[in-house]
Structure 1
Amino acid sequence: MEEEEIIDIPDEGQREGLESCALSLIGKFLTCRPFNKKFNTEFEMNSVLKGGSRSFDNQVLMLLQWRVGMTAGNVKFDSVSLWVQIWGAPFDLVLPTIVEAMGIRLGTVVEVERKQKSESQSYFMRVKVALPITKPIRRGAFLAGYDGQSDWANFKYERLPSF
């Protein structure tokens, strides 16, 4: 057999492999090599995946859902999803659309917390953002209001381990 020769995998073997990986998350601590965690149900897997940032021994755990064709060599862990609290914004700027626009400036928006109309005025807003791990995190930002005045808003990152 030559190295360049392609080995055909039977359909039955492929189906078995796909089924065994369907409920898998691929994970990596920021400082080590990737690993694989399999779950018994889709509910368990999704609750871990959507549960937010995890850490162990002060190291961030990054997770990706398994996809067809993933290998140890092509898995890219380039971001970590964290809830970001936005404090100090003027009350007239505390809206989901504005929170989303702010989240886009930080990274890729995963989710925007939507408050019920019956809730009292919030002191802060929350947006879950996939933050690039190669860029420094921002402490805050100036928000330009309707009147042209800029107000400083502080960002607090939930479950952010120290690096």
Structure 2
Amino acid sequence: MASSSSPSLEVEDLYKRLNLEEESGGITVKAEEDGKKEGQDFNWSLVGRFLTDRQINFTAMQNTLASIWRHVKGVCIKMIGPNLYLFQFFHELDVSRVINDGPWTFDQHLLIFKSLELGMNPHQVPLFQVDFWIQVYDLPIGYMSERVARDVGNFLGKFVEADSNNFTGIWRDYKRIRVSMDIRLPIKRRMKLKKIGEEWSWINFKYEKIPTFCFFCGVIGHFDKFCEKLFDYLDKSGKNSMVYGSEHHQGELQ
């Protein structure tokens, strides 16, 4: 007995099923020599954004960064999305200097960047961490060891390195540590520490090259008059109670 369905419809259904199977499948790509070369190039690339809701003047930004970076072999800057940029360097020394000498700003807006690695999608790289050099004041004698530097750095964010001059015999008013900080969190003004059997001591922090930050909430990237938490810091007399205060701001290094 002949089938009641049309042969053309059966072929059409089969074709649809094949298409669905193809779309849900995948392949494993073998890394060839071209892929290695591409990965090598991307080791000299950064993806970044500026900490602002405003539109960036792309041409002015290019010229400004080219002027302050003074890269020897050049850099190609591309806009790959709204407030998202790809910085392609052409020599390892140029990109290393940009990474190590930061943080950088344009028009007072902090540049947040991350090195690209093979397999990364530039549009999906989380951009919230910035490395800052931080000066540590009022450390008691005998407290600045490599271990203490690391513990203090991890209190502030994620310890990156300590200034090698910290551990020389020359007396200095402060020690320096480099810390990777989440810019979504308030900066820390001070902390207390002690050794077993001793009294607590307060140590204070000053941030090098810190951009605009809020006196009320301590978050980098906006002024206090634009802070959503502004009214949470108003005292009963109606005066602004600045948690970070003008005296703290004057101590920060710009």
* Global fold match (TM > 0.5): yes
**Higher gyration radius (CA):** 2
The alignment yields a C-alpha RMSD, in angstroms, of 2.5
Write the letter of the residue equivalent to 2:136: I
**Structure 1 residue identity aligned to 2:191:** A
Once residues 155 and 116 of structure 1 are traced to their aligned partners in structure 2, the CA distance between those partners, rounded to angstroms, is 15
Structure 2 segments unaligned to the other structure (5+ residues): 1-18, 53-81, 213-220, 222-254
Does the CA contact (< 8 Å) of 2:134 and 2:177 recur in 1? yes
Identity %: 27
Partner of 1:149: 199
Larger strand fraction of residues = 1
Q: Which residue of the other structure, out of 100, 105, 112, is the alignment partner of 1:62?
A: 112
Tell me, what secondary structure is at the counterpart of 2:122?
Answer: coil
1:97 — aligned with what? 147
- Worse overlay, 31-40 or 150-159: 31-40
Determine if the alignment matches structure 1 residue 44 to structure 2 residue 94.
Answer: yes
Letter in 2 for 1:27: G
> Which fold has the larger relative contact order, with Cα–Cα distance below 8 Å and residues 6 or more apart in sequence?
1
Q: Which moved more, 1:26-35 or 1:133-142?
A: 26-35
Q: How many residues align?
A: 162
For structure 1, which runs of at least 5 residues remain unmatched after alignment? none
Contact 2:116 2:122 in 1 (8 A): no
In the other structure, the counterpart of 2:51 is 30
Secondary structure at the counterpart of residue 69 of structure 1: coil
Q: Which amino acid aligns with 1:25?
A: L
What's the TM-score, normalizing by structure 2?
Answer: 0.56
Letter in 1 for 2:137: W
Check whether the contact 1:140–1:153 (CA below 8 A) recurs between aligned residues.
yes
Separation (CA, whole Å) in 1 of partners of 2:85 and 2:204: 35
Q: Tell me which of 39, 51, 56 is aligned to 1:18.
A: 39
> Could you state the TM-score of these two structures normalised by the residue count of structure 1?
0.85
